[in-house]
C-alpha cells in the first residue's frame, strides 16, 4: 500500500489537534513557524512537544517497511528492557495519525515515538575536533566508538545502518544510536534486511538476504579506522568529507588496491591503522561480510591513546626441566 508523502505528514503535523488517536502533542516550530523535522529514506522524524512540555521524536513512514509491527515490537522490547546504554526507549503506535494524501488513502497511519535526543552527529563532532586538531578528544571518541560496537557485538544484535549521522554525541560525550528501521535482533531472525545502509560505510557485497548479528562488522571497522586516522591526520576531514561519509567512500571498498587512503594507511607509523587497514582491505575483497577478528579489533580499540601505537610485544616462554 502506498504511504503519504513527507509533505502530507507535514500538513497533518502542522494541524496536530485531533489528528492523533492517543498522543497529546503539538509541533515544535522553527523561526518560520513550520514544524521541525528531519527527512530520511523511509520516514520523516518530527520534533513534537507533549502536553507536559516534554520533547518527543515522532517518526512517520513514507515508504513501506516489511513486517513493520513485528520489527518494531521486537525493537521496542529491546530498547525498553535490554539495558543497552546506546539506544533510546521507543514505542510503536499503530493507526495513530490521520493523514489526507494525494498519493495514499486518507487514513490513520502508524508512528514510532521516542524522547527527542539532543546531540551532535558523530560526523559533525569529528569535524569540529579535526578543525581544533584535538588528538586526545579524537582518541577518546574512537575509544567510545569501540565500546559501543563491542557492546552490540557481545549482545548479538546489529543496528543495520551504522553511519556518521545515525550516531549522536551528547554534551557529556555519551554516544546514542538513532534510526532503528533495519535493526537485527535474535527475535527477528529469518527476516530480510529492510535496507542496505549507507554505501560509504557498507560492505560492497552486502545484500538484502544478509540479516544477522554480523551485518555491522564492516561499518564498525570503517568508522573505527577513519576516526583513528583523523587522530593523526585531521586535515583528511577537510579533503575527503563530503557530507555522506567520514573520509572513506564506496570506491575505496570496491577497488581497495587503488585507494590512495588505504595505500597510505598501510604504511602508517601507527600499528592500529596498519592493522585495521589490512583487515578492511581483506574484508572488502572477501565474499562474506563477517569479519572474524572484529571482537579482537574492538578490544584493542577501547585501549588506544592519542599517540602512535607500536606492535604488541610477543611474549617468549622458556621451559625448564
Measure the CA angle with vertex 245, ends 41 and 261; round to 5°: 150
> pLDDT, tens digit, for every residue of 176-231?
999 999 999 999 999 999 989 999 999 999 999 999 999 999 999 999 999 999 99
Report whether pLDDT(314) > 70. Answer: no
Q: How many CB atoms lie within 10 A of CB 107?
A: 14
Q: What are the counts of helices (DSSP H) followed by strands (DSSP E) for the chain?
A: 10, 9
**Domains delineated in the chain:** 20-115 (3.30.200.20), 120-301 (1.10.510.10)
> Which one-letter DSSP state was computed for residue 74?
H
Task: Give the torsion through C-alpha atoms of 176, 10, 181, 225, to 10 deg.
Answer: -50
Question: 46, 36 in Cβ contact below 8 A?
Answer: yes
The model's confidence at residue 319, banded by pLDDT at 50, 70 and 90, is very low
Report whether pLDDT(321) > 70. Answer: no
Q: How many CB atoms lie within 10 A of CB 312?
A: 9
Question: 174, 120 in Cβ contact below 8 A?
Answer: no
The model's confidence at residue 269, banded by pLDDT at 50, 70 and 90, is very high
Which helix (H) or strand (E) segment is 44 a member of? strand 43-50
Phi, psi (deg, nearest 5) at residue 170: -75, 170
The model's confidence at residue 310, banded by pLDDT at 50, 70 and 90, is very high
Q: Which residues contact 194 (CB under 8 A, 6 or more apart)?
A: 42, 65, 66, 71, 160, 181, 182
Residue 303: name the closest of 280, 278, 277, 271 by CA.
271
Report whether pLDDT(316) > 70. Answer: no
Phi, psi (deg, nearest 5) at residue 127: -65, -45
Find the mean pLDDT for residues 21-31. 94
The cell for 35 is 514544524
Question: 248, 202 in Cβ contact below 8 A?
Answer: no
pLDDT for the residue 33: 87
Maximum distance among all alpha carbons in the chain?
Answer: 86
Spatial distance between the Cα atoms of 102 and 11, rounded to a whole number of angstroms: 12
Q: Considering Cα of 147, then 151, then 154, then 159, what sign does the dihedral take?
A: negative
Spatial distance between the Cα atoms of 193 and 177, rounded to a whole number of angstroms: 18
Amino acid at each position: 500500500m502506498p504511504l503519504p508523502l513527507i509533505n502530507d505528514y507535514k500538513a497533518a503535523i502542522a494541524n496536530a489537534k485531533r489528528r492523533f488517536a492517543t498522543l497529546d502533542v503539538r509541533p515544535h516550530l522553527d523561526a518560520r513557524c513550520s514544524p521541525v523535522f528531519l527527512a530520511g529514506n523511509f520516514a520523516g522524524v518530527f520534533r513534537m512537544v507533549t502536553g507536559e512540555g516534554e520533547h518527543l521524536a515522532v517518526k512517520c513512514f513514507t515508504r513501506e517497511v516489511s513486517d513493520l509491527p513485528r520489527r518494531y515490537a521486537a525493537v521496542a522490547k529491546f530498547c525498553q528492557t535490554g539495558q543497552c546504554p546506546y539506544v533510546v526507549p521507543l514505542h510503536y503506535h499503530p493507526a495513530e495519525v490521520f493523514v489526507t494524501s494525494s498519493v495514499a488513502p486518507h487514513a490513520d497511519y502508524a508512528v514510532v515515538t521516542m524522547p527527542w535526543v539532543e546531540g551532535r552527529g558523530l560526523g559533525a563532532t569529528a569535524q569540529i575536533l579535526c578543525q581544533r586538531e584535538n588528538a586526545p578528544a579524537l582518541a577518546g571518541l574512537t575509544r567510545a566508538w569501540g565500546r559501543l560496537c563491542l557492546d552490540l557485538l557481545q549482545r548479538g544484535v546489529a543496528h543495520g545502518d551504522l553511519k556518521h549521522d545515525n550516531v549522536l554525541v551528547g554534551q557529556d560525550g555519551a554516544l546514542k544510536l538513532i534510526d532503528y528501521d533495519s535493526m537485527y535482533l535474535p527475535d527477528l531472525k529469518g527476516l530480510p534486511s529492510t535496507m542496505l545502509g549507507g554505501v560509504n560505510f557498507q560492505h560492497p557485497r552486502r545484500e538484502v538476504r544478509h540479516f544477522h548479528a554480523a551485518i555491522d562488522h564492516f561499518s564498525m571497522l570503517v568508522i573505527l579506522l577513519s576516526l583513528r586516522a583523523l587522530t593523526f591526520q585531521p586535515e583528511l576531514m577537510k579533503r575527503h568529507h563530503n557530507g555522506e561519509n567520514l573520509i572513506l567512500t564506496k570506491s575505496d571498498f570496491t577497488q581497495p588496491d587503488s585507494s590512495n587512503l588505504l595505500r597510505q594507511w598501510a604504511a602508517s607509523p601507527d600499528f592500529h591503522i596498519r592493522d585495521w587497514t589490512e583487515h578492511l582491505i581483506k574484508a572488502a575483497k572477501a565474499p562474506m561480510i563477517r569479519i572474524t577478528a572484529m571482537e579482537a579489533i574492538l578490544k584493542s580499540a577501547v585501549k588506544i591513546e592519542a599517540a602512535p601505537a607500536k606492535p604488541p610485544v610477543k611474549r617468549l616462554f622458556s621451559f625448564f626441566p
